[in-house]
Amino acid sequence: MDNKVAAIRVLVADDSTTVRHIFRDFASLWSAGVEVVESECGETCLKYLTEERFDIAFLDVHMPGMTGLEALFHARHQGNQTFVVLMTGRPKNEMIDLARRLEAYDLLVKPFAPDALAVIFKTYERLVQPVRALLVDDSATVRRVITRIIEQSIFRIGVDEAVDGNAAVEACGKGRFDIVFLDVNMPGLDGPATLARLRSHNPDIRVVINSSEAEEAVRPRFGNQRVDMFLKKPFYPKDVDRAIRWVFDLPAPYRSEQAA
């Protein structure tokens, strides 16, 4: 049986041969394998996006003729959901706002080093791997709402549910979870007691606590226990995305904003 992992297929749309060369060099070194398809203009970029499948697309904002933003707008309008990163040497607040509305994951500011590409590829590889989450909350209604929110994350998260702390401990004893979303206020084993039990079996388990109370009121109840992240109810898919990036040590997008 052939277990070879398919190469990451990447579209690089930029009229600069220097930038395209950076991607060719990077592709030759990335361990998972990268196939690079190049485009020098927005029109060809849009044709590629609408006719072929790519895992990641890097689009230069400023290209002759159709810009990268225009190509992305038309592609999204046609239903294309490719993981897109925009590139520019002249970031503007308006551009960043439009990039977010067009669901571009990030904006790379030129000139950028290969390390910046490594961050993007690391994020993408985590993005396509299944994430197994355990949601612990004593309210069936809350579990139903939060499950829907988690499933709207850009990450591929499968959610199991536990009705209380004891059920959470039992579930974690039977299987492995990448992350636990843990309610603070529960009858019987509350959040802090549940976390202590979970960590006694698995010290490295990643736990995001959530509560309708403010973080400063909740944190002291956990004493010296490590809490990976706190989410205040109600929270939204973008907050789940932020939590996943945090626990897996993935830098947040648009972290290099230096817009005018």
What is residue 52's three-state secondary structure? Answer: coil
In this structure, the answer to whether residues 193 and 239 fall within a common structural domain is yes
Cis amide linkage into residue 130, ω under 30° from 0? no
CATH (domain of 143): 3.40.50.2300
Question: Quick check: is 213 in a domain?
Answer: yes
Contacts of 26 (CB under 8 A, 6+ apart): 34, 114, 117, 118
Please report the pLDDT score of residue 82 as a whole number. Answer: 95
The share of the chain scoring above pLDDT 70, in percent, equals 95
What is residue 165's three-state secondary structure? Answer: helix
Question: Quick check: is 3 in a domain?
Answer: no
The count of structural domains within the chain is 2
Asked which of 78, 94, 127 is the last residue of a domain, the reply is 127
Regions of the chain where pLDDT drops below 70: 1-5, 255-260
Question: Quick check: is 251 in a domain?
Answer: no
pLDDT 10s digits, 48-58: 999 999 999 99
Give pTM, 2 decimals: 0.79
Question: Quick check: is 260 in a domain?
Answer: no
Please report the pLDDT score of residue 144 as a whole number. Answer: 96
Please report the pLDDT score of residue 255 as a whole number. Answer: 64
What is residue 134's three-state secondary structure? Answer: strand
Question: Quick check: is 110 in a domain?
Answer: yes
In this structure, the answer to whether residues 145 and 184 fall within a common structural domain is yes
In this structure, the answer to whether residues 135 and 221 fall within a common structural domain is yes
Cis amide linkage into residue 111, ω under 30° from 0? yes
In this structure, the answer to whether residues 238 and 167 fall within a common structural domain is yes
Q: Which of 132, 135, 133, 130 is nearest to 210 (CA)?
A: 135
Asked which of 127, 161, 196 is the last residue of a domain, the reply is 127
In this structure, the answer to whether residues 29 and 103 fall within a common structural domain is yes
CB of 187 closer than 8 Å to CB of 215:
no
| Domain carrying residue 26 | 8-127
SS3 content of the chain, % helix, strand, coil (to 5): 40, 20, 40
Question: Quick check: is 47 in a domain?
Answer: yes
Asked which of 91, 111, 127 is the last residue of a domain, the reply is 127
In this structure, the answer to whether residues 56 and 95 fall within a common structural domain is yes
In this structure, the answer to whether residues 242 and 137 fall within a common structural domain is yes
Please report the pLDDT score of residue 253 as a whole number. Answer: 83
Averaged pLDDT of the chain: 91
